[in-house]
Amino acid sequence: KQEVTQIPAALSVPEGENLVLNCSFTDSAIYNLQWFRQDPGKGLTSLLLIQSSQREQTSGRLNASLDKSSGRSTLYIAASQPGDSATYLCAVLPGYSSASKIIFGSGTRLSIRP
């Protein structure tokens, strides 16, 4: 059974630092992996989606990498800003069919100190 883990559960860094958020999954046979952001009391916003055949995806100051063989993905945030404070969740799609469903990690709560 696929399990998705995000460690640490919370992280606090000063503004301007580059940082890495981690996501690990137990079964390397995934179809894709998605990173989301969630602000307090709000819904999730999709940040990046990496297909299983890809190694990384970039959007602005965000870069997500995928290493299927080791069961790991990282989300790199460059030059962090207070507005980056949020909970970041990763989710994997184990396989593809019309009835497939994604499996979420529990998230890392990120706080950027001004």
Site size toward other proteins, by CB under 8 A: 26
The number of residues in the chain equals: 114
Footprint on residues 4-43 left by other proteins (CB under 8 A): 31-32, 34, 36, 41-43
**Token pair 């606090």: residue:** 12
Residue 62 binds other proteins (CB under 8 A): no
Contact (Cβ atoms closer than 8 angstroms) between residue 7 and residue 99: no
CB-based burial, 8-31: b 16+ in 10 Å, e otherwise = eeebebeeeeebebbbbbeeeebe
CB of 18 to other proteins, least distance (A): 25
Q: Is 76 near other proteins (CB under 8 A)?
A: no
Question: Could you give the string, one character per residue 86-105, with x where binding to other proteins holds by CB under 8 A and - elsewhere?
Answer: ---x-x-x--xxxxxxx-xx
> From residue 14, how far is each of 27, 61, 81 by CA, in Å?
34, 16, 9
Q: List interacting residues with other proteins (CB under 8 A).
A: 31-32, 34, 36, 41-46, 49, 51, 89, 91, 93, 96-102, 104-107
